[in-house]
Structure 1
């Protein structure tokens, strides 16, 4: 994410997006911040349920919860990743 932001792009077109994209760096900044928050919440959570709850508390309007659930399970060792 840092490398993308360092390039100072005029337009960013996300590959996976629900809704209308602003096509600026806000999606990159959001993703960077979301990943940082996820990693911090993972350190403080005992299991995927706690991790999911922490992320939903901080991002109540985030719609892609199936990816959150899978990612939390993988991060906490409750599910394998290919």
Structure 2
């Protein structure tokens, strides 16, 4: 499993994405965005999955990163 962080343009997009991931059995947690990353709304969703599950994220997603113990790698910017 890989740890991911998704950032969003709005809090509502973060909430929708968290619910969408949780609805598919993927544990997701809304948290403040780490300082090393920027986000329009300041809220991110952290989750673990085999793949980034981009289709489950809201259309107002800003970016998705892998999280390797505080080292963040951009994998998709929208």
Per the TM superposition, whether the score is higher than 0.5 is no
Q: Which has the higher contact order (CA 8 A, sep 6+)?
A: 2
TM-score, length of structure 1 as denominator length: 0.30
Q: Judging by fraction of residues, say which structure has more helix.
A: 1
Relative to the length of structure 2, the TM-score reads 0.31
Greater per-residue strand proportion? 2
Bigger Cα Rg: 1
